[in-house]
Amino acid sequence: MPMFLQLGLGLILLAAQYGPGSAVPSSECRRKCGNVEIPYPFGIDPKIPNCSLAEGFDLSCEVQEGISKPFKQGVFEVLNISLTAGTVRVLNYIVGYCYNSSTTSMEYFGRYGGVNEGSPSSPYRVSNIQNRFTVIGCSAIALMYDDDLTGYRGFGVATCRNMSDLVDGSCSGIGCSQTTIPKRIYYYATAFQDWVNSTSETWKFNRCNYAVVMEAAEFRFSASYINTAEFNDTNDGRVPMVFDWAVRDAQSCDVAERNTTGTYACLSSNSVCVDSINDLGYMCNCTQGYEGNPYLPDGCKDVNECNHNPCPSDGFCRNTVGGRKCSCRTGKKYSETSNTCNPDTSLIIGVAMGSFGLMVIIIIIVFWGQMVIQKRKLKKVKQEHFREHGGLLLFDRMKSEKGLAFTVFSEAELVQVTDNYDNSRILGKGGHGMVYKGIVKNNVPAAIKRCFLVDERQKKEFGKEMLILSQINHKNIVKLLGCCLEVEVPILVYEFVPNGTLFELIHGKNRALHISFSTLLRIAHEAAEGLNFLHSYASPPIIHGDVKSSNILLDDNYMAKVSDFGASILAPSDKEQFVTMVQGTCGYLDPEYMQTCQLTDKSDVYSFGVILLEILTGQLPLKLEGSEKQRSLSLLFLSAMKENNLDAVLVSHVKGQESMELLGGLADLAKRCLDMSGDNRPLMKEVADELNRLRKLSVHPWVRVDVETEAESLLVGESTTAYEIELSTGYPADESDDQPMNPRSSYYAR
């Protein structure tokens, strides 16, 4: 059993009964001890009759190191007493539980034991609002209880592995915890759970644990408390604690006011009784307009309201009992509601009528002037945003390169084409912004993206990045048409891609189209070509940062277009700039990036490998249920490959469409992309080349016979396109000719 530390909370652990009386305290009673005021009903001269309301309110004034200080029971120093709030602040002792290296055991230290238990008749209760049971340490479990056998039991737990776990100012369990306490606590004790033994390593940097009930507002945790004695050295091992006090001889004001024995404590004629907020009992306050001591006859004195609540500056104030009276100069009338002196309308009606027209003109002029000022301010703000986002750089470049296909839109233009960003125009919402549909110049449909936020670094580099992105011209990358820079967060304008995403084709609303596996393989190849362009041919190279199937859009002919560059970064020129934090998508994130925060082109390769798994298995990248391996599609696939059981994860309709040679090759490519080490993953160019090779496996002679038969059944007339053949059969429309079958499907001729 641990040693129980009987904390002698002198202000609350008082067992003595008391019976308050109505006698007036003697003028000989001292009302100050050192710098602390001792107002009645408290007293520091118990030998002089009636210096306090009752024995429970007696304090002692002691001299320590030449300074007078008030104490309760000669143990706990009183800091201050409040009559209006009904509180007493004292210094409470910290209890420590320390490891003794010589005895290899835990030992208590601090002031404890030898204090009588309190009783419900004590005026004091531990404040449940202002105090917290505070425990400090790296292996501490402390118990606070208010009775040896039954009653309240509260635990405080503080733990940590090492000093690096600790955060200054944080007291939520790591190195420090604070527990709320209930009402009606007039006695408590504390004990530590002995769970640290000689085999523990924690004591080497945390030799002591601490526990104390203290004022929450006066505490801020410091990591230095763990490996030093700094916390215990505060005020000789003491910290502030707050008690709620009240007259406890009656349960409430209703009972006290009906008392006929002369024990009612609110003696001032201008006082009011207030029920205690912590257990039974009551306190006294002066009524509104009075201040002072309500426990003394005539203790509540009238407040000079002219000082506390003055009248208007152009009026006159006269103090009255319990209030004040205001008056105004001739021609004005006082308004109690607004505390102002207003013109007397009975005297100025004629003047008001004559000046009404002039006032209207003045108001119109002022309003018009304000409108002009606000318009100028708005224009200045837009110009500042334009400058911050690199607008001047863009305009200079557009002047020098007339062929730059990039438009800088005004805010008004984009508001108009989106019907003021009406909800009916919303195409979707991503991690970086909301996307709206609009028709911009020359009747071009566009996707208008309002970004959520841009940091200061992005603001400075925005113009340069827009120039780079605007020059990317690849059939498998969504074209950036322009942007708006005169707003706080820039707005991007992309080409509109109408047929949804690859994610919807595999998992979502377009799944009912029953797209063939070869078509999905072709879309994956096109997406890889687009990412390869970003990595290898953009100058400087661009890392996408959020590659996923929902960011691969499909145009009218279901050709892949890589989109959403909200998480992209330009490949940095030095290693210090190479470390960045990017918002990605769970299930696609490179595990190596999660460990190092180092985004590389191989991070995009890993995410693309997850897309290949979606095509092969038809499953989502991440599930919310099941074991860790079952939740992660990557782990499930790699486990199947390790067990040589690829067939178990393949989607059923894929097995019947393609040869195992093709599926095995695609699975092997996905496995290489998902390698835990980025250095072992292929380049995106190698991925694109391998996908191109695998697509050719779909056009062996024995396959093409069935394809041509099926294609002929689909060719009802001349309107049938190569796209329709490919969408239905899953095979390229024409492998032998470099020319497209028709203009609309030119990019399908490989």
Rounded CA-CA distance 695/102 in Å is: 75
Q: Which region, left, alpha or beta, applies to residue 74 given φ > 0 means left and ψ of -120 to 50 means alpha? A: left
Q: What is the DSSP string of 694-720?
A: HHHGGG-HHHHHHHHHHHHHH--STT-
**What's 161-211 look like in SS3?**
CCHHHCCCCCCECECEEEECCCCCCCCCEEEECCCCCCCCCHHHCCCEEEE
Question: Can 546 be counted among the known catalytic residues?
Answer: yes
Q: Are 644 and 652 in contact (CB under 8 A)?
A: no
Rounded CA-CA distance 360/124 in Å is: 66
Q: Is 647 exposed, middle or buried (0-12, 13-18, 19+ CB in 10 A)?
A: exposed
Which among 244, 249, 279, 546 is annotated as catalytic? 546
Rounded CA-CA distance 82/39 in Å is: 9
Rounded CA-CA distance 466/484 in Å is: 11
3-class DSSP assignment, residue 386: helix
Which structure tokens are listed for 708?
């041509």
User: Which alpha helices (DSSP H) does 219-344 contain, by range?
Assistant: 224-227, 253-257, 305-308
3-class DSSP assignment, residue 419: coil
Rounded CA-CA distance 189/95 in Å is: 11
- What Rg do the C-alpha atoms of the chain give, in angstroms? 40
Rounded CA-CA distance 315/409 in Å is: 59
Q: What is the DSSP string of 39-94?
A: -TT-BS-TTSTTSSSSGGGB-EEEEETTEEEEEETTTEEEEEEETTTTEEEEEEEP
Q: CA distances (Å), 295 to each of 28, 43, 84, in order?
A: 17, 13, 11
Active-site residue set: 546
